[in-house]
Each structure stands twice: as C-alpha cells, then as structure tokens.
Amino acid sequence: MTDLGTRSAAPAWLAAATVREEPQLAYELAVRRPPPEAPRALSVTDLLAPRKAYWRRRRGPAPVPVERELRLEQGRAWHRRLGDLVASEGALEVRLRREGVTARIDLLADVPVEVKTVAGREDGATPEPWPDQVQQLGIYCALAGAGRGRLAQLGLRDPEPPRVAVTELVFPDPAAILAEALHRRDELRTAIERASPGPLPRCPWFEHGCEFRAGGVCDCDGAETEPSTPIEEEPLARTPCPEIAQRWERRLAEGGPPTRRSPDRFRELLHPRRAYYDRTVGRPSVVVPGRPAGAPQDAYEQTVAALEGGPLGEVARLPVGPTAPEEEVLGWRGVPCHVRASRVRTRVGPEELRARFPQYLVDLGYRCAVADRDQGRLLLAHENPAPGEPSVQVFRLELAGGAAAVAESWRNATTALVGAIAEHRPEALEPCPAWMTADCPYRSTCGCAADAGRSQR
C-alpha cells in the first residue's frame, strides 16, 4: 500500500478499480432522508427502560465495573461468533427504522430472531426468558409486521461452548404492541425535551443491579410509577425449537471459542502510525459535549436514517472471516456500504473522489475484502450543500479481479501494524496525512508532522 498521507499515488488495486456514480440510488436516499429538524429516533432498547435511556442521554453512560464489562464482552464475542456461523440461515443484524423507532434484529430468517447471552446454570438448563427479552422481541416483530418470532438464549459456561435454547413466541396482536412502543417513544421524547424524567416509569432494574443507580448517575428513588407491561402480558404461545438449538450448539462447538481480533477498526489500517500510539500510549480522553435535544440532525444522521428506513432486510451486517477487524461491515442491498460526511458543498465526480478522498475508497475496499465481495458502495453525505447541489451521492466501487488483491493489501497492512507494535517501531509505519497532524495529541513525538505531505482534504 502506498502512502495515503502524501496522496502521491493510490494503492495498485485502487488504481485498477472502477468508481461509478449511481444517481438513481442517491435520489432514493434523498427522498427518504428526514429533515434536519425531525426528532431523533429512539431505539427499541431505549423503550424497554425509558428512565435509563433518559439518564444516558443527559449524563452519558454509567460506569460499569471491570468484571461486569469482561462478562459483557464475552457475551458479545459469542454473539458475534454465532451470527457468522448461522449467516446462511438469514440476514444478520438487520437494521430497521419505523415511526421514529430503530431496531437491530439479530437474525431475520423466516421470522425475526433475537439472540441473548445469559449465565449458564450448573444443570445445563437455560433460564426462562426475562420479561424485557420478550418485550424486545415483540416490538421487533411488530415493527417488522410479523406475528411471531424466536428468542435464542446462549448459556455461557466457561470453558465450554454455550448451551443454546430456542423458543418460538406468538404475538396475537402486533398492533397493540406497536401502539405501546409508540406511547413509550412519546413519553421519552417529552422527558428529553423538558429535561425532566418526571412521568417516566420506574426502571425495571431499579433493585436488580442498575448501573445508573449504583454509579450515582440518576436521581431515581424508587417512588416512581410502576412500568406498564402490556407487551409481556399479551397471551403468548411458546414453543421450544430443539432442532435449531442443537444445530447451533454443534456449530458453536466446532467453531471453537471466539478470539479478540486485531485491529479493532478499519481506519487503523489507513492511519497505522496514529493507531500505533493509540495502542501503546493509550487513547487520550476526549470530552464530547452533549448535543441539545432540539439540535438539528447532521448529514450523517440523516443519511443513516434514510438507509434504515428502506424495505425490511435491505440493511444488514455482512458475515466476515475470523481474522477480520472487530468493526462490523454494514451491507446495503447485499454489498458493503460505507457512509461518510463531507464539508464539500458541490457535487464530487468519481475521479475527484479518487484524488481527494482515496482513504474513503481504501476503507471501503478493505470492507469488501473481508466480506469477500468484489464491489461496494460509498455514500457521501454533504453537510451543507450549495443550492441545487445533491445532499448525498452514491458511488459504486468495483474491484478489478475481485477481492483477492485487496485482501492481500489488507493482510499486509495488518501485519505491518501488529509487527510495529510488537517491535516498538512506529517509524516503520506510514505517517498520517497533514490534516490529521494539526490536532494530534502525539504530534510532538511521532514525527508525522515532519513526514506528512500536503493536505488535500
């Protein structure tokens, strides 16, 4: 890979690739985009515990003990592993946005499937589904227009692979479930706008290890109103699915325990010297001021909303190999998709994109390589377009000869970064571009400011 800092030349595989604009897709997204003043969507998990969601937006995430964070990460790792192993059975982590509510369905097979990790019991049995798990699946089904779904529980028992239990649940009145979800949405929006959690119900986790209460983040005292529970009180038909559970258990056992992959994010391969210092010195803490509740949505948020507002199953996570970075690869209509925001106010042509923003295409190319796709799409959202100029552009990147050449470049970049960290040799890595060095916390020690070429951002 050649130096993206100096922009002197593109990687060989990028020089051979084709970049085409797709104006029809850009038009479809522009029609779907919400106006900047539209309220931000709330997630289904926000609606399960609105009071926790309120405090998370007001004061940020609550502190989590290290032991619990390690357990959560173990659960997330097995969750990801199962997804990659059963990708042939449906679409993974399908994103959906309806009525100002966002959902991420773990697996969209013949029905929506929600996967949860739980503590395994000594007798190997899995516990009964928790009420909030049933509610979450019910809202997912209602948003997807389905009357039934499946809840899969992975019982974690070190060092053995998880035991799996799968239950199919029938929701006879999805319309009532959706109405309750929208009621919670409105209550939470009102609380955020008024900067007061007053009418929000008591958190169901108030006396069961709530991290916000333990960390002193909230001011809940237990006198709040009891939460409404019409979703879980719906008459449900529950049917065990042992065939699915056994098949998934076998796949988890054959796949072995998940391991932490390196690097964490694709951008670490684009700017490896910054990644070196982030890894060895530690990322400096950055205080990002909270955005006011009524602040307009930016171009990135609007574009993501347009993506998620499409047909069910159009946006989903793509399965990747075991050595891919931890960061997920988002798929749109079956190919990798990368969303970037730009301050450029006018339309950018394919060759101008290749010359000015090669890092966007290299990042997308790496995503194509790990997902074994020979093409991908870059969505360029314009933050403040000039009158008459597009708010979003869509580009198709087609890799000459498939993903093999890009995969080699990605592996070489990974090897170089891992090797430099092991050998304590940051100078062996490419310098960051000049536009990154101006505010870099490592500017005085890394040498990029002297090595980097002229910024063309």
Residue 371 predicted with pLDDT over 70: yes
- Judge if 242 and 268 occupy the same domain: no
* Sign, CA torsion 290/291/294/300: negative
- Judge if 270 and 239 occupy the same domain: no
Token pair listed for 51: 């009071």
In whole angstroms, give the CA distance from residue 309 to residue 316.
12
- Judge if 411 and 311 occupy the same domain: yes
Contact 101, 141 (CB under 8 A): no
* Nearest in space to 113 (alpha carbons), one of 146, 156, 84: 146
Among 215, 231, 255, the domain-final residue is 255
Query: How does the average pLDDT of the chain come out, rounded?
Result: 87
Q: Tell whether 354 is covered by a domain.
A: yes
Mean pLDDT on 11-20: 93
Give residue 5's pLDDT band: very low, low, confident or very high (50, 70, 90).
Answer: very low
- Judge if 374 and 427 occupy the same domain: yes
- Judge if 180 and 242 occupy the same domain: yes
Q: Tell whether 61 is covered by a domain.
A: yes
- Judge if 141 and 169 occupy the same domain: yes
- Judge if 279 and 423 occupy the same domain: yes
The domain that holds 117 is classified in CATH as 3.90.320
Among 221, 240, 255, the domain-final residue is 255
Token pair listed for 387: 């009158």
- Sequence-separated (6 or more) residues with CB below 8 Å from residue 178: 99, 139, 142, 143
Residue 120 predicted with pLDDT over 90: no
Q: Tell whether 307 is covered by a domain.
A: yes
- Sequence-separated (6 or more) residues with CB below 8 Å from residue 115: 79, 82, 83, 106, 107, 152, 153, 154
Residue 141 pLDDT: 96
pLDDT tens-place string over residues 228-251: 666 655 557 899 999 999 999 999
Residue 3 predicted with pLDDT over 50: no
Residue 236 pLDDT: 77
Amino acid symbol at 418: V
Mean pLDDT on 184-202: 90
Which region among 100-114, 197-211, 334-348 has the lowest average model confidence (pLDDT)?
197-211
Q: Is the pTM of this model over 0.75?
A: yes
pLDDT tens-place string over residues 80-98: 999 999 999 999 999 999 9
- Judge if 406 and 286 occupy the same domain: yes
Give residue 75's pLDDT band: very low, low, confident or very high (50, 70, 90).
Answer: confident
Among 195, 222, 255, the domain-final residue is 255
Residue 9 pLDDT: 47
- Judge if 228 and 339 occupy the same domain: no
Token pair listed for 379: 């969505």
pLDDT tens-place string over residues 108-118: 999 999 999 98
In whole angstroms, give the CA distance from residue 130 to residue 434.
52
Burial class (CB in 10 A: 0-12, 13-18, 19+), 264: middle
Structural domain of residue 192, as residue ranges? 42-255
- Judge if 120 and 16 occupy the same domain: no
Residue 10, classed as helix, strand or coil, is coil
Which region among 125-129, 174-178, 241-245, 406-410 has the lowest average model confidence (pLDDT)?
125-129
Residue 186 pLDDT: 94
Q: Tell whether 160 is covered by a domain.
A: yes
In whole angstroms, give the CA distance from residue 45 to residue 57.
13
Q: Tell whether 121 is covered by a domain.
A: yes
In whole angstroms, give the CA distance from residue 293 to residue 261.
36
Mean pLDDT on 165-172: 94
- Judge if 187 and 311 occupy the same domain: no
pLDDT tens-place string over residues 414-455: 999 999 999 999 989 988 887 777 778 888 778 776 654 433
- Judge if 299 and 200 occupy the same domain: no
Look at the chain and report how many structural domains it folds into. Answer: 2
Q: Tell whether 5 is covered by a domain.
A: no
Q: Would you tell me how many other CB atoms lie within 10 Å of the CB of residue 27?
A: 13
Task: Using a pLDDT cut of 90, give the percent of the chain over it.
Answer: 59
Q: Tell whether 456 is covered by a domain.
A: no
